Amino acid sequence: MHTVTLRVGKTDLVLESGRMAKQANGAVFAQYGGSSVLATACCSAKPVVGLDYVPLQVEYNEKYYAAGKIPGGFIKREMRPKDKEILVCRLIDRPMRPLFSKAFQRDIQVVPTVISADQVNPPDVVAMVAASAAVFVSDIPFDGPVGAVRVISYKGELIVNPTFDEIAGADLDITVAGTELGITMVEGGGEQVPEELLLEAIEFAREPIQELCRIQHELRELCGREKLPLVEETLVLEARQEILDYARPRMEHACFVKGKMERSAAIKQVISETREHFGEKIPEAQQGLFSGAMDDLEQEVVRKSIFERKVRTDGRAPEDIRPISCEVGVLQRTHGSALFTRGETQALAITTLGTVYDEQIMDDIEGDRRQNFLLHYNFPPFSVGETGRMGTGRREIGHGHLAHRALEAVVPPKADFPYTVRLVSEILESNGSSSMATVCGASLSMMNAGVPLQKPVAGIAMGMIQEGDESVILSDILGEEDHLGDMDFKVAGTQEGITAFQMDIKVKNVAPEVMKRALEQARGGRMHILSKMAEAIEQPSSTLSEYAPRIITFKVDVERIGLLIGPSGKTIKGISERYGVNTNIDDDGSVTIYCKDKDSGEEAKAAFMSLLEEPEVGKVYEGVVKRIVDFGAFIEFLPNKEGLCHISKLAGHRVESVSDVLQMNQSVPVKIIEIDKMGRVNLSLIYEGSDENVRQDNRGPGRGGRDGRHSSGGGRHR
């Protein structure tokens, strides 16, 4: 067994190898405080000839036993990956994948497993380091290692690898990964933070990342295995130069045909004509090499045009943004909707307002919690003119999470807007950054629905082409620019600052001044998009859709919550059913009534408030006859509060029998005339001429109102 230790932030990170999972190609057990991750790396026994990609699988998983929990639901074992696990898989995959060689040509599987969780230290960045170390000490060729840390800004201070509590109070939270040479990935969000703070946090991560790489080298020196050989490429495209010379002028025209589909068809036509022209000079065994040569030629043509002519494939200059169209209220029955189109990327965003019963219950090793802001991103195959399987994959979850993070910072707190908000983004067309189109469309849709956002949010995807020390920053990149470029990063935010950021770097290092220039150009693009969005809608709608639920909230003394709930919830259920509402009472005394129309909600509120009302002499109430006796009647004038109306107080004349005037369960107006020292209440019936000064609108809430014919509700106390 071999171990190395490094102080990261306030806690020691310990990497250990040689005690667990010894049959894997590589295994590292990482401990950080009470959080532990076992990461393993394996590869297939033999190469798969002809692979032109890296067949890497990252399977991060969290075991419930790590936090001393048993999974909820009927099936008491871990099943399909949760969204959070998929998001961490992507965090691990993105900085590591470029460091594997395509020439290895073997399946690679990295499995980081959280086996202990102290619910203090997040295990995700521990898993990122453990995964890199497991591969680095294994016999799998890897141009690493990779280090990763989380950096937050907390009360004006930058902190490395913070605790969950510190993260909850942070105004900037980013995960940064990189190699010894530089930063390669950044992902995170902020509370409308300035670009300068983001750059400072990224630079703050450089030193600990280099130290994490250093201790992985130390661990490899102690227990590293000899690397397996790469597959030597023996085939060559013999006519490569001749083919490139023939295809180049045709490719230079095809790459700049206007329109994504038309441009793609033109490039395919060039490839087809070239293959047909050279015929037997491209034997079957060299078809893969020919396709690779055509890809290289396309990349060369596009990059050269951007560097030398500052012209992109659609004719734009580097800083130009495609035409933008914004529409709101495009769907009649939804609570809010918007159609955002930027060039050939289009997102239809729909907002649905729900109640506390629609909140997402999160059950994982971090503890049970609820989420009242949801965003779901869908990327159907028709959006790129293809057929394919419908469903939610890792890409959809990742893009949706980025958009969710971008908007969450401006969604009002539950205390100010007690609705559950669900956004769905349907990508109808895609040619570059549908996730940022989702941010823009979702912001417009929520404003259309009347969600009081702090500020509208826009997002933009940026790219970079780098040759030597020179670089060109591209605004609002196309799909092909993402593929052919050296860096892509997405920035979302308001006029005030950044709310979400994601960056992947394909080159070994990017200078800080280049990143600063890129963020400045991104801010200009964001301001332009926000101005276009403001032309469609400037402020959130002042009213909600007629189809949205209505919510009424009020607070009561926590010591009197029991009066509203009643024995076994009888009172809250009864009122909720009578008025056709749903009612939730929190432990802090907050009462929330969910209703289809405001009138029924107000009536239910009046009924609840009447439970808290103290009897007042001289006040008139609407009462219900509960018992009839020889000397009078007992009348309930407030919920669970009765008084005696003596037979002498039933009319202005002598009454022989109480039943001559009153019947059981009859509703009658009564006035409190006395409350004795024992708290007993004496009532007088209000009859014609009994009190000319008494008006109907002076009566208390009493028992008037609906007759209980609605049954859609049912209360709940949490």
Instruction: Note the helical H segments in 116-159.
Output: 124-137
In this prediction, the residues of the chain whose per-residue pLDDT falls under 70 are 689-718
Residue 298 has what pLDDT? 94
Which residues make beta-bridge pairs with 35? 32
Read off the amino acid at residue 102.
Answer: K
d(CA 10, CA 161): 8
Strands (E), 494-561: 498-505, 550-555
Residue 596 has what pLDDT? 83
Nearest to 376 by CA among 441, 451, 447, 460: 441
Q: Which fold has domain 550-613+710-717?
A: Ribosomal Protein S8; Chain: A, domain 1 (3.30.1370)
> Edge-to-edge, what's the strand order for the sheet holding 324-328?
324-328, 336-342, 345-354, 420-429, 373-378
Phi, psi of 450 (to 5 degrees): 90, 15
Q: Cα separations (Å) of 680 from 354, 566, 617, 619, 647?
A: 45, 22, 12, 15, 17
Domain map (residue ranges) of the chain: 2-223, 240-309, 324-536, 550-613+710-717, 620-698
CATH annotation of 324-536: 3.30.230.70
What distance, in Å, lies between the first and last C-alpha atoms of the chain?
A: 50
Residue 439 contacts residue 456 (beta carbons within 8 Å): no
Q: What is the pTM (predicted TM-score) of this model?
A: 0.84
Nearest to 606 by CA among 704, 697, 718: 704
The H or E element that residue 29 is part of is strand 26-32
Architecture of domain 620-698: Beta Barrel (2.40)
Architecture of domain 240-309: Orthogonal Bundle (1.10)
Residue 332 has what pLDDT? 92
**Taking the mean position of all CA atoms in its chain, how far away is CA 417?**
18
d(CA 483, CA 486): 8
Residue 531 has what pLDDT? 97
For 447-502, the three-class secondary structure string (H helix, E strand, C coil) is: HHHCCCCCCCCEEEEEEEEEECCEEEEEECCCHHHHHHCCEEEEEEECCCCEEEEE
d(CA 26, CA 108): 11
Whether the domain at 240-309 and the domain at 324-536 fall into the same CATH topology: no
Residue 484 has what pLDDT? 85
Running DSSP on this structure, what letter comes out for residue 154?
Answer: E
d(CA 489, CA 188): 12
Measured over the CA atoms of residue 523, residue 526, residue 532 and residue 533, the dihedral's sign is: negative
Residue 566: both structure tokens together: 């009643």
Neighbours of 393 (CB within 10 A): 10
d(CA 608, CA 589): 13
The CATH classification of domain 2-223, taken from the options 2.30.30.40, 3.40.50.2300, 3.30.230.70, 3.40.50.11540: 3.30.230.70
CA angle at 329 for the pair 323 and 335, rounded to the nearest 5°: 135
Nearest to 225 by CA among 523, 446, 26, 61: 26
Nearest to 195 by CA among 623, 647, 497, 502: 497
